[in-house]
Amino acid sequence: MTPGAREAVAWNAGGWWMVSSHAEVLAVSRDPATFCSARGILTLEIGVEYPSPPTMLHTDPPEHTRYRKLVQPGFAPAVIRALEAPVRALAVERIERIEPGAVVDLVPALAEPFPVEVIADLLGVPAADRARFVAWSDASIPDASDLSLDERMALMGEMHVYLLNAARERRGGTGDDLVTVLANVDVDGEVLSDDELVMFLNQLLVAGNETSRNMISGGLWALAERPDQWARLHADRGLVRTAIEEILRWTTPVVAFMRTATRATELRGVAIAAGDPVLLLYEAANRDVEAFGPTAGELDVGRDPNPHVALGFGPHFCIGAALARLEARVVLEELLDRFTTIEPAGDIERTTSEIIAGVRRAPVRFAGSPAAAAPPRSAL
């Protein structure tokens, strides 16, 4: 059923509007002048004022435009293309440990360590320091772990100090790691301050880890529950790229972000007052039949077109989108090369976070002979 105005834009008793329709999520996302991010992107930030933005996500143009211009060199197409070999090597190292027929929990075996290792390599972090990355990332997401508020704050402080020291050490240095690149970037005389650099590195660590981690675990679990879709990928490797977009849509790792109305306006005929918080429900928008048709509630690895909003939209479209897609692609390709089937081997356990579609446990079983007859990747 197509949602009506009151269903697509509805007031929540907690004190904010909930926007669940695809069209309205796009409209809000592309209009930062009317719906700003600077007053908070989470409902728990309603009424909070920051002396400086805690993340780039908390900024609006023109400040946000400046930040993207400065950090874009670290995510240029040539940079991402050069990452494929090392990213694939990290995936292979993890996947080769999976035994055919054995029960494996996707989270600790692959989905959790792999993105952390990718980000750590990208940042040039020594191997000895990487164990803390998962803890830091989880501490930054409310309800992503069982940590108390004091424990979370202590870990976040530890992370801030580490990233600040790394940034300062690499000022004036040479190297191709992202910290060095961003610490020394100069675009038309503009540079990132220490605090700005730490802000961005913090966002990269958390967003880069949490998004890919839950996309991989949730996506592979969805395929395990739908053997026909896994079989389609085996039969036609050309579907890998559309499968990645469908996995992003299906898992929607970031469930929702908030904006605040800067002036009186309306959404689908519903009046929105200046100062009203507006929560964008990306997960709901990615199931909207108006945008995805009658199969919106089904997983279809061949879905095309696929206008999902799993990576955001407008000025805040995920700057690391190409990296997330690269990670998903190499994982799918390497698993398809090695196994003919994947099936659930227990129950999935999810986190209680209302921000991240987190997966704590996803036991599966891979089986079958390696796909020796798979088409070469150059043909994909």
Q: Give whole-number Cα distances, 308 to 71, 182, 358, in Å.
A: 25, 30, 19
Q: Is 36 marked active-site?
A: no
Q: How far apart are the first and last CA of the chain?
A: 37
330-369 burial by CB neighbour count: b if 16+ within 10 A, else e? bbbbbbbebbeebeeeeebebbebebbbbbbebbbbbeee
Selected catalytic residue, list 327, 328, 333, 362: 327
Residue 49: how many other CB atoms lie within 10 Å: 8
Whether omega for the bond prior to residue 62 falls within 30 degrees of 0, making it cis, is yes
Helix axes 321-338, 194-225, angle to 10 degrees: 30
Residue type, 85: A
Quote the CA–CA distance of 330 and 362 in Å, as a whole number.
20
Quote the CA–CA distance of 129 and 120 in Å, as a whole number.
9
Cβ partners under 8 Å of residue 247, min gap 6: 215, 218, 219, 222, 328
Selected catalytic residue, list 24, 196, 210, 333: 210
User: Would you give the DSSP letter of residue 41?
Assistant: S
Selected catalytic residue, list 91, 144, 207, 362: 207
Q: Could you tell me the strand order of the sheet in which 16-19 lies?
A: 9-12, 16-19, 277-281, 256-261, 35-36
Q: Is 310 marked active-site?
A: no
Selected catalytic residue, list 318, 324, 328, 357: 318
Beta carbons of 331 and 88 less than 8 angstroms apart? no
Q: Is 7 marked active-site?
A: no
Q: Is 334 marked active-site?
A: no
Cβ partners under 8 Å of residue 140, min gap 6: 152, 156, 159, 202, 206
Selected catalytic residue, list 212, 243, 285, 291: 212
Catalytic residues: 207, 210, 212, 318, 327
